[in-house]
Amino acid sequence: MSINSAHGAFEIDGVHTEVVVTEYADRVLVLATQIGKLGTMYLTRDAGPGGGRGFEPPEVRVLVGRREDEMLEATARRLAQVIQARGSTKQVLVSLGLRPTLAVGTLRGVARVAADFACDAMGLGAPAGMGEMSLEA
């Protein structure tokens, strides 16, 4: 069994951010951290028929970490939604090691950078017929 993994380092709003993508047979792990730790881990699932592949956001469940952080959960959901919209049929595990006081714009930046890096690492292109997908939603 071969496991593909990729690592990238980025500056997001002046903060060093590490992104690790590990692709398994049935799922993909996307880790984005600014604190050097796993942080909060989410399991995302396709929202059902027609869902999760573009406009319907995937279901998100906290596995470990901050359970009441709606903005962090929205970041995980958006990251998974973009990966699925670009053609992945795998479950997405998202781990976000971020400070609890980040601005909305910074969270959007983390989602954008991590999703783009994950899609590049997995060899996924833009979603069919959708052009460039906005991360502003």
Q: Where are the domains of the chain?
A: 27-100
Q: What is the reported pLDDT for 51?
A: 47
| Residue 98 to residue 52: CA distance in whole angstroms | 24
Q: For residue 79, give the nearest of 51, 49, 105, 58 by alpha carbon.
A: 58
Per-residue pLDDT tens over the stretch 98-132? 988 889 999 999 999 999 999 999 998 765 444 44
Look at residue 136 in the predicted model and tell me its pLDDT. 43
Tell me how crowded residue 77 is: count the other CB atoms within 10 A of its CB. 21
Domain covering 27-100 assigned CATH 3.30.230.90 in the classification: yes
90: left (phi over 0), alpha (psi -120 to 50) or beta: beta
In this prediction, residue 129 carries a pLDDT of 43
DSSP class of residue 31 equals: E
Residues (pLDDT < 70) of the chain are: 1-3, 47-55, 126-137
**The predicted structure's pLDDT at residue 127:** 56
